[in-house]
Every structure is written in C-alpha cells, then in structure tokens.
C-alpha cells in the first residue's frame, strides 16, 4: 500500500496537490480528509468522488501531518488501498440512537469481512462514546479493533463528519477494514501521572458526578485543585472548567481510564466529566503534566512498534484537544516524535474524545489520550 499526505488552504490548492500526487502513476482509492471550515466539505466530496476516491472526512479546530501542526485549512492522507479491503459507512443519529448506529455498523462489518477492524469518528460530543463502543463490541466482538476520535470544535462544540455523498453534525462515520488483508495496530496513551489516595464516586448519573466520598463533588475537586481551577466566565450556572488534571478511574487492568472535569454546576456543586461514570467507581487525581507525559507516549509507541508492528504504510492519529490546550507548544514534540518513530505519511486531528486500546484489554472510549493506528498491507 502506498500513502501520500497533501494539504492546502483552498479547494483549488487541494485539486492541484491531488493532481501532482498522481503524476508518478499513484492512484489513490481512499482519502482521510480533515478540515476546519466545514463549508469545504461538499466541494471536497465532489472533487474526490470524480476521481473515484472514497472519503473519510471530519472537522476539527486543529489538524496535523508528519510535518507537524498545519496552518492550512485542509489536510488529506491518500491511500491506494484495494477497494475490496474496505467499506465506509455513515449513520445519522436522527434516525437511530448512537448505540443502534454502532450496532448496525458492527453488523455491516462482520457481514462484509470475517475479521473487520473499525476506524471511527462520531460527530456530536453529547452522544456517549461508551454507547458507541458497546454497540460495536456487542456485534463485532469484545476484542474488535476500534480506533478513532470525535470530530468537532471545542470552542463551539460543533462539527461534522462526511463522506462522498453525505454529511452529518450528529452521527457516526466508520471505515471498516478487512484485517485479513490490512493489518491495523494501535494504542491509546495518556501519560498523566496519578497522585493522592483513591476517591469514590458516591452519587452520579451519566456523565454527572454529584458526590465524591459523600461530599459535593466540586468541594472535593476544589480542595485538590485550588487555584489551579481556571474559569472562562463568572462562576454562576453551568461553568466550563479548563482543568489540566484529569481524573484517573481505576480499571481491572493496570492502566487507568482518563476522564477530565468539563463542567461545574454551581447550583448543586456537581461536575460533568468526559465520559459516563457509575456509583462505586474509584479514581485518583493527576499531577500537572510535564515532559514525562510526552516521553511516555513516545516510549510506549516505540515499544508497541518493536513488539507488534515493525513497519507500517500509514499512520492516523487522534489526539485529545485537551492535550493541545494543556501541553501547548510541547504537543508539537509529541507529534514530531510519533512521526519520527514511524517515518511514514501521517495525518491526525485534535478531537473531543478518543477510541482505542489502553493495554491488552478491549478497545474503549477515553479522554486526554493520543490514540494512534498504523496500517500495513499484508
């Protein structure tokens, strides 16, 4: 499989770059297309459709390639993968729930291929990522390969996913791949270090936590974070929290599940976290991030590559937008490190929730991680 990345600030620039990429006889059949200006989606769909190239498209406030974070509005990864090795599906939540959308996607996968793998991107951050994972695993199997990230702009909480003939602001986009012909391997890594004793969720509903250790949730959060809590508006009503200290929820395996604190309801001191929680779950707070966070990502990626996938044809990366907001300029070193390890064409975007495996357990939904997936033709 051959891969090339292209970029541009306009449709015409992408048209020219696409033409130039095919001068040497390269004939792409699949394009990962990541944009910021969602008005470009329709024209891009028309452009790639005319060339017989299937689209996996998503919007994000920031994108990157193997060359780093891109100022250009459009970035594209082109692949000449055989058309009988993949299928693209777009399910709109207006017609069914996220769980049902994922369930049908899983069913399509197992009907199309004996061993399907899934690269996914939902739009609409309000829809539980846990429901999507459950729907896919209930049909495709608990050990199904599921990697990806939620599209959208964290400032407006809006975004789209799109393919050649459809787009939606509330739905699930999936690239289903025949893993008997294309190897998929990936990992979701956070790097944040835990601190303090375990705390227990004592009252919760969905993503909202009302009490921790039988105290109002925000009281406990405030005791730990203190002046590190950053508010972007007066503390009244629903207040967004720009916290750089995600909660680390304990799991049966050694790797914790990261869930950042997103909103504070000042009326009852409850907080909303990035993912669903349940009463009785335990978590620890995180230390402030430093270069060790990036080192952990790079080293774990290097080990995974050496152990399970010495070479790849292309790399797709879904990094939590919280990493960009927290790490600042340091996040460029993380992107550069991933690109250097694989040394192959790469594309990615900063997302609002990630899908992938933390360790040897099943794939799941996360926050505050960088989830990468490498592709290699067998």
What pLDDT does residue 235 have?
65
Distance CA 325, CA 327 (A): 6
76 and 12 in a common domain: yes
* φ/ψ of residue 222, rounded to 5: -65, -40
229 and 94 in a common domain: no
Domain boundary, last residue among 232, 259, 286: 286
Domain boundary, last residue among 286, 316, 338: 286
80 and 9 in a common domain: yes
The parent domain of residue 165 ranges over: 3-189+292-377
Contacts for 256 with CB less than 8 Å, ≥ 6 apart: 194, 248, 249, 250, 283, 284
Q: Which residues in the chain show pLDDT less than 70?
A: 226-235, 242-244, 253
DSSP state, residue 231: B
What pLDDT does residue 50 have?
94
**pLDDT tens digits for 313-330?**
999 999 998 888 888 888
182 and 119 in a common domain: yes
Distance CA 59, CA 150 (A): 9
Distance CA 55, CA 264 (A): 38
126 and 86 in a common domain: yes
276 and 169 in a common domain: no
**pLDDT tens digits for 69-97?**
987 889 999 999 999 999 999 999 888 89
235 and 168 in a common domain: no
315 and 272 in a common domain: no
Distance CA 285, CA 30 (A): 41
Distance CA 292, CA 327 (A): 11
Domain boundary, last residue among 286, 311, 329: 286
- What residues form DSSP beta bridges with 316? 347, 373
* φ/ψ of residue 118, rounded to 5: -130, 125
114 and 14 in a common domain: yes
C-alpha angle with apex 77: 26 to 338, nearest 5 degrees? 120
- Our count of domains for the chain comes to 2
104 and 181 in a common domain: yes
Question: Are the C-beta atoms of residues 66 and 344 closer than 8 Å to each other?
Answer: yes
276 and 232 in a common domain: yes
139 and 65 in a common domain: yes
């Amino acid at each position: 499989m051959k891969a090339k990345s292209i970029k541009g600030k306009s449709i015409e620039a992408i048209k020219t770059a696409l033409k130039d990429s095919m001068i040497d006889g390269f004939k792409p059949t699949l394009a990962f297309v990541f944009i910021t200006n969602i008005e470009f989606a329709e024209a891009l769909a028309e452009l790639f459709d005319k060339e017989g190239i299937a689209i996996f498209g998503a919007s994000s406030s920031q994108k990157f390639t193997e060359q780093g974070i891109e100022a250009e509005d459009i970035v594209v990864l082109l692949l000449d993968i055989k058309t009988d090795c993949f299928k693209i599906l777009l399910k709109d939540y207006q017609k069914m729930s996220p769980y049902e959308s994922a369930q049908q996607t899983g069913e399509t996968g197992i009907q199309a291929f004996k061993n399907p793998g899934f690269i996914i991107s939902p739009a609409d951050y309000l829809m539980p990522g846990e429901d999507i994972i459950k729907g896919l695993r209930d049909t495709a199997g608990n050990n199904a390969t599921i990697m990806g990230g939620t599209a959208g702009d964290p400032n407006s909480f809006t975004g789209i996913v799109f393919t050649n003939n459809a787009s939606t602001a509330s739905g699930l986009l999936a690239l289903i791949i025949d893993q008997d012909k294309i190897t998929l391997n990936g990992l979701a890594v956070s790097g944040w270090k835990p601190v303090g004793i375990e705390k227990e969720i004592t009252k919760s509903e969905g993503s909202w936590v009302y009490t921790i250790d039988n105290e109002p949730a925000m009281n406990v959060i405030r005791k730990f974070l203190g002046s590190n809590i950053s508010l972007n508006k007066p503390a009244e009503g629903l207040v967004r929290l720009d916290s750089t200290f995600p909660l680390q929820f304990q799991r049966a395996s050694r790797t914790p599940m990261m869930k950042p604190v997103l909103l504070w309801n000042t009326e009852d001191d409850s907080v909303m976290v990035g993912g669903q929680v349940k009463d009785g779950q335990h978590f620890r707070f995180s230390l402030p991030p430093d270069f060790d966070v990036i080192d952990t990502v790079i080293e774990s990626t290097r080990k995974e590559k050496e152990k399970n996938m010495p070479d790849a044809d292309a790399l797709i990366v879904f990094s939590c937008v919280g990493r960009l907001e927290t790490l600042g300029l340091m996040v460029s070193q993380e992107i550069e490190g991933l690109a250097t390890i694989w040394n192959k064409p790469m594309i990615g975007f900063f997302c609002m929730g990630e899908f992938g495996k933390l360790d040897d357990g099943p794939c799941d939904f996360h926050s505050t991680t960088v989830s990468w997936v490498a592709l290699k033709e067998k």
